[in-house]
């Protein structure tokens, strides 16, 4: 399962951000080129991306189901 949020960055531009649920029950995310992590902006383990501290990603889009074979890739 994944979750999608959007927000307005300091530059004034809109951005989106994905969270992914892990088998162990926590959620992970990755900002730009930073390593993936399972904590929110308050450094708490993410158990629910809807209620965690998402920083500037304040607009909730929803939960979405995906298949394990789906690979998410950035620009080539």
**Looking at the domain assignment, is residue 72 inside a domain?**
no
Q: Decide if 15 contacts 6 (C-beta within 8 A).
A: yes
Q: Which residue has the tokens 């979405």?
A: 64
What is the span of the domain harbouring residue 19?
2-64
Q: Tally the domains of the chain.
A: 1
pLDDT at 72: 66
Q: Is residue 44 part of a domain?
A: yes
In a domain, 39, yes or no: yes
Convert the pLDDT of each residue in 24-74 to its tens digit: 999 999 988 999 999 999 999 999 999 999 999 999 999 999 777 777 666
What would the two tokens of residue 22 be? 């892990």
**Is 23 domain-assigned?**
yes
Structure tokens at 47: 């158990």
Backbone angles phi, psi at 35, to 5 degrees: -65, 155
Q: Which has the closest alpha carbon to 23: 41, 40, 38?
A: 38
Residue 74 lies in a domain: no
Confidence of residue 76 (pLDDT cuts 50, 70, 90): low
């Amino acid at each position: 399962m994944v979750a999608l949020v959007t927000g307005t960055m300091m530059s004034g531009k809109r951005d989106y951000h994905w969270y992914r649920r892990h088998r162990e029950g926590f959620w992970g995310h990755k900002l730009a080129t930073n390593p993936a992590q399972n904590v929110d902006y308050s450094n708490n383990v993410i158990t629910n991306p809807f209620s965690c501290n998402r920083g500037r990603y304040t607009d909730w889009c929803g939960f979405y189901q995906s298949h394990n074979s789906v690979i998410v890739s950035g620009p080539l």
